[in-house]
Each structure stands twice: as C-alpha cells, then as structure tokens.
Structure 1
Amino acid sequence: MSAAACTSDDEHGGADRVAHLRAEAALFMRDHVLSVVSHDLRGPLNAIHSWGYVLERKVDANDPAAQRALAGIRSGVEQQVKLIEQSVDTTRAETKALQVALAPVALRPLLEKSAALARASVARARGVTIEIDSPLAEEQLEGDAERLLQTLWLMLAFAAEASPSGAAVRASSNIEGSMWRTDVRFSASARALGDPASPHVLEAFARRQALEPREGGRIAWGLALCKRVAEAHGGAFEHSDIADNAEVTLSVRVPVAGM
C-alpha cells in the first residue's frame, strides 16, 4: 500500500472516530434534555392534580358543567403523565443507568490521546492551542477507558470551540488524595460559539443554550456526557458559568480506586 493510501486510511479512521465521539455526546445531550423535560413537567402537573382535588371539594356535585371541567382536568393530567412515562422516560433509558467496564487505565496516555483528538477534531482548524499541565506519569485508576476518553475529549473540544482564534485551552490533571481531578480552563467567546463558519462539536441550539444562565446549578446540555460518565464512576462533573469573556473552568473528578 502506498504512503498516500495509508495517510488517506488514517484520516478516514480519524474522521470516523470523531464522528463517533460527536454521536455519543449528542446521545447523552438528548437524554439529558429529556430528563430535564421530565422533571420540569412533573412539578406543574402535580400541582394541577392537587388543585383539581381542592376544586372537587368546592364545586357543586350537582353542577354537570363543573363536573365535566374537573373530569377534563384530571384526564388531561393523566394523559400528560402517561406521555412522559411512555415517551420521555423510555427514550432516555439507554443512558439512564450507565454501565461502565472497569479496568486499569493509564492516565497520562488517556490525557494525551484525548488532547490529540480534540486538536484534530476542532482546535487546530480554529487556531486554538491545547496545553496539558500535569505531573502524571505512570499513575492508573480503575475505570472505563473509553468513557473517560469521551469525557476528556468533550471537555477539551468544547473549550476549543468556545474560545476565540489564537487562544489557549489549558488542562491541568493530578491526583488529589483518593480522587483524580482534571480541570479545563478557557476564556469563553459568544462569537466563537455562534460562528457558523467554524467547525463545531455541538449543534447550534446546544451552543446557544450553553450561554444561557443556569438554573439551580444545572450544567450546559452539551456537556451531559461528562456528568453521566463521572457519576457512573462515583465521581462528579461541574463547571463555572459560561458567558461571553468569562474565565470558565470545566472540572471532572473520579475516584482512583474501583467502585
């Protein structure tokens, strides 16, 4: 096989790898949005259901119009709850209870591979550099290497697409006590996130949502994979507010010992 053919195969394989990573991020984002919808719809529906019972005790039992109205309220609530259970909750079942395959994972190679994929998928084309600052060398943890790679890649790729051209994304990684912690820091740019001419990891609506004020400390939808993978390992994921010109930190923590 010629050198040109080998290069073409490598590029094709790399493109397939990035496409798979983007698909995984999109899957977890979809399920996260469905989870938010399920949670946020149940509150108002429960309130309507409760007030229906209050009205039932107040309304004249001999008033047919009022009784039909109450029956309509109860029926509507039941239909909405059934829709949530059958459509929303069932659809997100694939990642609701994420299973991880635990095995020894070398951390330094994981960091380097994630950074290389992030550079190839979005950072290099946008003129953004990714820098790794870590003393890790031979350290390992018990984890799912593929899921952890997806998490690191998404953190780095998102930071790259949210940064203006010429900026640097900095990732620090270390073991603190019993936890492996990786922080990705960057300066966010609303213009960079919204630029349709530049390569992106997330869909346009997810990029717009990332810049919206967070309610109750919720994460940006597009970073849902990071949260689910961290929690499946017994760890946590969080990030500071993402706003134009803000200094943002994405942080993932995973226990070093197996669960």
Structure 2
Amino acid sequence: MTNRAVETWLTDMDGVLVHEEDPIPGATEFVEALKASGRQFMVLTNNSIFTPRDLRARLLGSGIDVPESAIWTSALATAQFLADQRPQGTAYVVGEAGLTTALHDIGYVMTDRDPDYVVLGETRTYSFEAITRAIRLIDAGARFIATNPDPSGPSQQGKLPATGSVAALISTATGRTPYYIGKPNPLMMRSALNRLNAHSETTVMIGDRMDTDIISGLEAGLRTFLVTTGSTLPSQVETFPYRPTRVFDSVADLVQLVQDGA
C-alpha cells in the first residue's frame, strides 16, 4: 500500500455527502476543507438523470457548494467512452437531460433510425414504447450500452426501479447484455482521473457501498475509504472478500485528514 500523500480526492455523492436532499453532517465542512486545501477533487455519481449544473444546484440547496466542473456522472463517463470508441456516432437514448446533454456535447446524433448504439440511462418515467423501440433496435444490430447497473434507487416515497432493472428487462427480451459504464466498472474512476490528469497512486475514493464504490476504486488502483453513513453497514464490511483501506463513521472524520494534508 502506498504511503504517498493524497493529491486527489474522489467521493461518491448519495450516502456520503447527502441522503436525498438532506446533507450528511460534516459534508459541508469536508467539501470546504477540500476547496481550501487546493487539492483536486471530484464528486462521482451513478445518477445519469441530471447534468452537473442540476446536481450543483441540488447540492447547493443542501448547503454543499461543489463547483460544476467537480461533478462527474455516469452520463459524462458514458459520453466519454462513446467519443473514444466511435467518434461522431449515433444513438437511440432512453434517459433524461443528464444523458442526452452529455451525448450532444460530444457530437453524437440522437436517432431511432439504425443507430450505432442504444444507450440506456436512468429516468423517472420509463416509457414502454421507448423500451420496445430499444429492444427492436438492439435486435436489428445496435450495440447496447447502459450508464450503470444499479437495480434500484431511493426516493422520498421509497425504492424506485433504476437502470439495472430496465436493462434486465431489455436483456431478457433480446438475449443481449449491455456494457455498463458506471460503478462498479473501474472505467468510471479512470475517466474521472483522466479528466483531472491525476494518478491512481495519489488518489483516494470515498464511498458508502462496498459493492460499487469500494470495488471500483480498488480495481482502479486507488486507496479506498468507506464511510458508514449509507448502504454498507459496519457489520457487513467483513463479509466481503475485499477490504477498504480504511473505514470511517462519516466524512466528518475526514475533515482533519484533508486539513493535515494526508
């Protein structure tokens, strides 16, 4: 394990900084400490519904001031992947503004006529008609990409079906599984590091889920800090075949580390 100083901090959003709209105690102070330290940092989220501008406004409403440029979504990572794989391509998109904006920004054309890709993202209003169209296009030869494999997501009313659940429906109908870009694919971490021109040896990933944040950080060669304010309970950590570098109660415990230049 490297002892090199931390130059770059990557952190998950939901479960680490906020629960829905409620800030997690210490999150505001943690982000302010990061900004004051002058070190690079980026907030990562598998959520592909919102643009970074939307997410900045959402976090600001919770009292957490994260620059728009420091937010990296699975939609942006997906767009970067497609731009590298097939520049100026075409896609049929099932998703919302976060995803369509990211694809437009890299020069992709949205179409339902013989697209290079079907790209599935998260949406609050999945259309049976759109899903059916996606199935037929994949059957006709379109490559299947999904922003993330999360089967469900939280809401004020309870659990919502998310990208992974709809991807399973499409996969069952087509016999084709998508390539997932977001966590736990370490590609999400690598793309964030590339955006920052940062190095894995001097980067920490902070997350609340062993099965997405910690495993993808580990596979990307990063040090990993688990906080127990979200999905993974302290009692569950030892049940996994891999371990985080360190476990903390919350990001409040990381403020001093940042200030000390850990």
State TM-score, norm by structure 1: 0.22
Answer 1 or 2: which has greater helix percent: 1
State TM-score, norm by structure 2: 0.22
| Greater radius of gyration (CA) | 1
